Structure 1
Amino acid sequence: MTEGWPSPMNDGHIGVLGHQMFYRICGPMDARETVLCIHGGPGATHDYLQPFADLSRHGYRVVFMDQLGCGLSERTTDTSLFTVEHNVEEVEGLRRSLNLGPVHIVGSSYGGALVLAYALRYQEHLKSLVTVGGLASIPLAVREMWKLVDGMATEDRDTIYKYDRLHEYEHPEYLRAVEHFYRQFVCRLPEWPPLVTYSFAEISKPVYNYMNGPNEFTITGTIRDWDISGRLGAIRVPALVTGGRYDEVTPACARQIAEAVPGAVRIEFPDSSHTPFWEERTAYLDAVRSFLDSIA
């Protein structure tokens, strides 16, 4: 989707690791500073990150990408490529192929996990990193999300537990309760922005189901045991850790990152859940821009 994106905007595909990867560049091509935005899911699309394109109005070149098997990037049935490690190499391959030089990297949700993993592998190519609703430990995030389920309305909570025990993740009653979870802990706006709805609708089921599982809090896929929390002390680039008070990836997950990454700054947005860049757009982007400006 191109509605609402600032100009100039340049879309394209480029070969990365033998596959065609989609990218979108907003802002001046000769900008001195580049912000590379990484979507979540795993399996989502770049579209819901559109508010970050606002940074292009302040002199930043803002680059978006769709990970392999997602959005407008090449699809594949090779599930051996659906790993955090391969996603890290996709990010690095795109950065190199587009000759971006050192970048500020922003990751949302699973993208936040991905940028932390990227920093541990390639931090010499980073000027800074920002996580929003990011995580360093899937087991911690899952435990925290089930605490949120426990605090839901009795009917929703009991429905989720009932069908989870039965492994019936497509039952209409279960899906309705999951929708209520998302409305409380993913995006609390009365009407979801079209680009958020679009990214949810277009999520790559092969990627999401294989890596994650049936939904946000039932993670049965290959990332279920992923945990790099014990390695975060090796990150030496400036870091901004952000999230919402009502985030499904709870403030405990944000604190884990902020307390482990040396010198990290943490900001919690009081009226937001998992998408503060939509829910408190102006305040959120002002905070990110202030952080970037302090480094650029």
Structure 2
Amino acid sequence: MNHRITEGYMPFLGYQTYYRIVGEPSDKAPLLLLHGGPGSTHNYFEVLDELADTGRQIISYDQIGCGNSYLDGHPELWTLQTWIDELMAIREHLHLREVHLLGQSWGAMQAIAYAIDQKPVGVKSLILSSGHASSSLWASEQHRLITYLSEEDQAAIRRAEATGNWDDPDYLRANDHYFDRFVTSTDALSPECLTRPKRAGREAYLYGWGPNEYQPLGSLKDFEYTSKLNQITQPTLICSGTQDICTPVVAASLYEHILNSRWHLFRRSRHMCFVDAHREYCQVLTAWLQEHD
């Protein structure tokens, strides 16, 4: 079904935040999507547009620093506080009194911090998709995943970590192999939104997270919320894949500590379960949203 798509911009910190709304307002709480990165853009979430078929608005936005909200030359901005403030601003700007909140990867970290630190009202449920509550656990699990790569790739990554030379061709090739195996890849059959050129927020990623997934050196390096997860009161759906950089160890650490939570593990899925197990993901998510409206 073709739904009306509304695009717009919200003033934020003297800059502009782009948003995209699929569908018409209804009595169902909208689904608000928080993309990964930091700096990844909303693009890949367009594979979830079909969820609007259930009569629910699907809302995404490009967080400041990437995509249609691109900005660089401001390393001081790339902090948790900036992105949480932006999330609160977008809810207010779009009058989202009640929402379901889905965060993927870094977006799930954001949703966790928002739920715990801000105690927001009107969040009917959380969906934490391939995210984490502990940067140290994440880093150690990534280093375990690296051991599944070839000896050559492992050596190239060790060298880059020792020297800080993230431009070394051997390291870049190894990192590509890691991405293809555990994160995502595209081919001629991939949806257009996954292959469309995008303005990734490289500065936002570098200063917010680090040079790659396994080296948290940026402002989020001390993100440690595991011991506070019991403060989350919203019903929470945890999604992850069996071949995901959000390993079952990471997902289990969320499930173990969030009291009212359910965990769905998608077979043969990497970091973007909603792409690798698209049909199943949409079915699981639709049922979850209906249950918690």
- TM-score > 0.5 by shorter chain: yes
- Give 3-state SS (helix, strand or coil) of 1:36's partner: strand
* Residue 141 (structure 2) aligns with: 144
- Where do residues 18-97 of structure 1 align in structure 2 (5 Å cutoff)? 18-73=14-69, 75-97=71-93
C-alpha distance in 1 between matches for 2:151 and 2:176 = 15
Q: In the alignment, residue 196 of structure 1 is paired with which amino acid?
A: L
User: Is the 2:70–2:201 contact (alpha carbons within 8 Å) kept by the matching residues of 1?
Assistant: no
1:76 and 1:9, CA in 2 relative to 1: closer, same or farther beyond 3 A? same
What is the CA RMSD across the aligned residues, in angstroms?
Answer: 1.8
- Give 3-state SS (helix, strand or coil) of 1:129's partner: strand
Query: What is the aligned length?
Result: 291
- Give 3-state SS (helix, strand or coil) of 2:66's partner: coil
Answer yes or no: is 1:11 the counterpart of 2:7: yes
1:196 and 1:138, CA in 2 relative to 1: closer, same or farther beyond 3 A? farther
Answer yes or no: is 1:234 the counterpart of 2:249: no
* Residue 292 (structure 1) aligns with: 289
Query: Structure 1: any 5+ residue segments left out of the alignment?
Result: none
C-alpha distance in 1 between matches for 2:2 and 2:33 = 15
- Where do residues 136-215 of structure 1 align in structure 2 (5 Å cutoff)? 136-187=133-184, 193-198=191-196, 202-215=199-212
User: Is the 1:123–1:237 contact (alpha carbons within 8 Å) kept by the matching residues of 2?
Assistant: no
C-alpha distance in 2 between matches for 1:240 and 1:220 = 29
1:30 and 1:292, CA in 2 relative to 1: closer, same or farther beyond 3 A? closer
Answer yes or no: is 1:125 the counterpart of 2:122: yes
1:188 and 1:68, CA in 2 relative to 1: closer, same or farther beyond 3 A? closer
Q: Deviations over 1:80-131 (max 9, x none)?
A: 3211122111111101111111100000100010011111114313010101
1:40 and 1:6, CA in 2 relative to 1: closer, same or farther beyond 3 A? farther
* Residue 261 (structure 1) aligns with: 258
Q: In the alignment, residue 103 of structure 2 is paired with which amino acid?
A: G
Q: Deviations over 1:239-283 (max 9, x none)?
A: 000010111121111111111111100000011010010001000
C-alpha distance in 1 between matches for 2:36 and 2:42 = 8
Percentage identity across aligned positions?
29
* 1:115 equivalent among 111, 118, 122: 111
Deviation at 1:238, TM superposition (A): 0.7
Q: Deviations over 1:15-71 (max 9, x none)?
A: 234432100000113353200000010111000111222211111101001111111
Q: In the alignment, residue 21 of structure 2 is paired with which amino acid?
A: I
- Give 3-state SS (helix, strand or coil) of 1:60's partner: coil
User: Is the 1:8–1:26 contact (alpha carbons within 8 Å) kept by the matching residues of 2?
Assistant: yes
User: Is the 1:123–1:235 contact (alpha carbons within 8 Å) kept by the matching residues of 2?
Assistant: no
Query: Structure 2: any 5+ residue segments left out of the alignment?
Result: none
- Give 3-state SS (helix, strand or coil) of 1:203's partner: coil
TM-score (normalizing by structure 2) = 0.94
Deviation at 1:211, TM superposition (A): 1.1
C-alpha distance in 2 between matches for 1:79 and 1:276 = 31
Deviation at 1:189, TM superposition (A): 6.3
- Give 3-state SS (helix, strand or coil) of 1:68's partner: coil
User: Is the 1:29–1:61 contact (alpha carbons within 8 Å) kept by the matching residues of 2?
Assistant: yes
User: Is the 2:70–2:199 contact (alpha carbons within 8 Å) kept by the matching residues of 1?
Assistant: no
C-alpha distance in 1 between matches for 2:185 and 2:42 = 20
C-alpha distance in 1 between matches for 2:177 and 2:78 = 29
